[in-house]
Amino acid sequence: MSEDDFSGIEEIEDYDSRFAKIFPKQKRRKPQDGFKNNKVVNQVLDKTTMFTMYEMINAKIISYVNGIVKAGKESALFWAVDPEGKDVALKVYLTSTSSFKKRAPYILGDPRFSHLKKGTRNMVYLWAQKEFKNLKQCIRHELPVARPLHVSKNVLAMEFVGKAGVPAPTLHEIEVDENDYAQIIDFITKLYKKAKLVHGDLSEYNVFKTEGGLVVFDFGSAVDTIHPNAQNFLERDIKNMSYFFAKRGLTVANPTDVLHTITS
């Protein structure tokens, strides 16, 4: 079925019935903060996004969606459930935002994404594909990231890192120690040397702390190591994390030394 066929669906099912299939009342749990703001919901659930979620249900990637976990300027995170009852994170990139126009430097120069069509919607779709491919590349090299499941247009389905719709705490939200610092430097190193990627936007806000160790997310900005700005992005990632841990009272290595060790 193509998106052009959506008009046919509209004749059979109105908007409310399609919404009910995606967010069934009998299964939907208590909505998170995102649903308190109708403006956010309206921005996210446009016609194309509804169609994409509907198709993901038909393809049995998910069974239904409980609600919004978190909403930001560029995306919203939904808590969904698959046919086996497992939690799934749906990252929906907002096609109405202009923020993605500022993201061009993270795509231009990356050999994997040499064909960039004009327009915000095309940029958003490419950004979703980019994050999906970056995550797959990390998984191939056994790096601790949220496992990608599926991507379609502006919707990315991933493993849900957390329990019962509550995400695991980020480093920003929890106490950290020397082992956490060692893990993040090891991650940056392996990401560069094994996966040949640089995160590009690494901070305490996009690293989960779980019982099994740290899990890094938000890979839309990640670039190939041959990207012209890769070294600058790598240096910034190292400085960001070094500053965070130092601010928390931990002893950290000189960021310049860490950069030299990783790139040598």
Catalytic residues: 201, 218
Collapse the DSSP code of 67 into the 3-class scheme (helix H, G, I; strand E, B; otherwise coil) and give the result: strand
- Token pair of 253, please? 């290595």
Contact 146, 159 (CB under 8 A): yes
- Give the residue among 249, 240, 245, 251 at the shortest CA–CA distance from 209: 245
CA-CA distance, 96 to 73, in Å (whole number)?
10
Strand bridging mode 155-159 / 148-152: antiparallel
